[in-house]
Amino acid sequence: EPKISGQRGAFIVIEGLDRAGKTTQVKRLCDKLYSQGHNIKTLRFPDRTSPIGKMIDSYLQSKAEMDDHVIHLLFSANRWEKAKWIVETLRQGYTIVCDRYYYSGMVYSAAKYNPTLSLDWARAPDVGLPRPDVVVFLNLEPEEAEKRGGYGDEKYEKKEMQQRVRELFLGLLKSPGSESDMQVVNAGESVEIVGDRILEKIEAKLKELAAESSRAGIV
Ligand code: NYM
């Protein structure tokens, strides 16, 4: 049941490399926040269920070829499809926990080093999306990722690409924009420890939020 106190929900994003344990941690976090009395909805990008999401899925599985700019814009469109839902759901008092957002969008596309696809170009189509209240980046050393049994078969799940993606993610933390608000958690620890660290970051932010104005911003 939506809260009737008038307090909006928080928009929480979990980011990271492939194999950093995002999906596991999103699930744990939702269970924990729910047990604390929050109303929770989850979201993941890409959302492969919509027509655009199905095109993205075909691309990731190498069943369809696409120009780097085209697939980038589809990933962005896939977020815009959900923008209104995000705003309304937060307003109803639900806290949203989201597996990847536009940060992944920027860094995976920019990691291709296509000369006409810069980080700035990649960011542009996402400007105006609902802005997260907290972003946690699960950082994983490349050696640790290797130990986790290598990558899957989808596009981008290659060592060199992951290394570039990681560098770009870490670069975002130093950027002057809203990306520098990202909280970093070392994903190389056990599931329990990583979960506790994530919760610490989020609880601190939720407290701040409760004290502040309740209007959500935009990217
Ligand atoms: N990915 C994800 C992008 O390249 N751009 C985006 O905007 C998003 C949201 O999709 N390798 C990439 C990162 C992943 C791949 O994600 C599929 P997942 O979380 O494995 O379903």
4: pLDDT strictly greater than 50: no
Distance 136 CA to ligand 1 centre (A): 16
* Contact in structure between 179 and 172 (CB atoms under 8 Å): yes
What pLDDT sits at residue 214? 60
Distance 61 CA to ligand 1 centre (A): 12
**Nearest ligand 1 atom to alpha carbon 76:** 7
Domain membership of residue 136 (yes or no) is yes
Residue 3's pLDDT band (cuts 50, 70, 90): very low
Average pLDDT value for residue range 35-39: 94
Residue 213's pLDDT band (cuts 50, 70, 90): low
Number of domains in the chain: 1
Sign of CA dihedral 66, 117, 51, 97: positive
Domain membership of residue 31 (yes or no) is yes
126 lines ligand 1 (CB under 6 A): no
Domain membership of residue 216 (yes or no) is no
104 lines ligand 1 (CB under 6 A): yes
Average pLDDT value for residue range 119-148: 92
Per-residue pLDDT tens digits for 38-49: 999 999 999 999
Domain membership of residue 51 (yes or no) is yes
> DSSP secondary structure string, 107-138?
HHHHTT--TT--HHHHHGGGTTSBPPSEEEEE
Beta-strand pair 183-186/95-99: unpaired
Distance 102 CA to ligand 1 centre (A): 10
Token pair, residue 74, equals 């589809």
* Contact in structure between 70 and 16 (CB atoms under 8 Å): no
Domain membership of residue 6 (yes or no) is no
Distance 46 CA to ligand 1 centre (A): 6
What pLDDT sits at residue 217? 75
5: pLDDT strictly greater than 70: no
Domain membership of residue 169 (yes or no) is yes
Average pLDDT value for residue range 87-100: 96
Average pLDDT value for residue range 147-165: 87
* Contact in structure between 23 and 99 (CB atoms under 8 Å): yes
Q: What are phi and psi of 132, to 5 degrees?
A: -65, 150
Average pLDDT value for residue range 151-158: 87
The ipTM is 0.99
> Which CATH number does the domain housing residue 98 bear?
3.40.50.300
pTM: 0.93
Average pLDDT value for residue range 6-33: 93
Domain membership of residue 3 (yes or no) is no
Domain membership of residue 5 (yes or no) is no
Range of the domain at 18: 11-211
Mean pLDDT of the chain: 92
* Contact in structure between 45 and 104 (CB atoms under 8 Å): yes
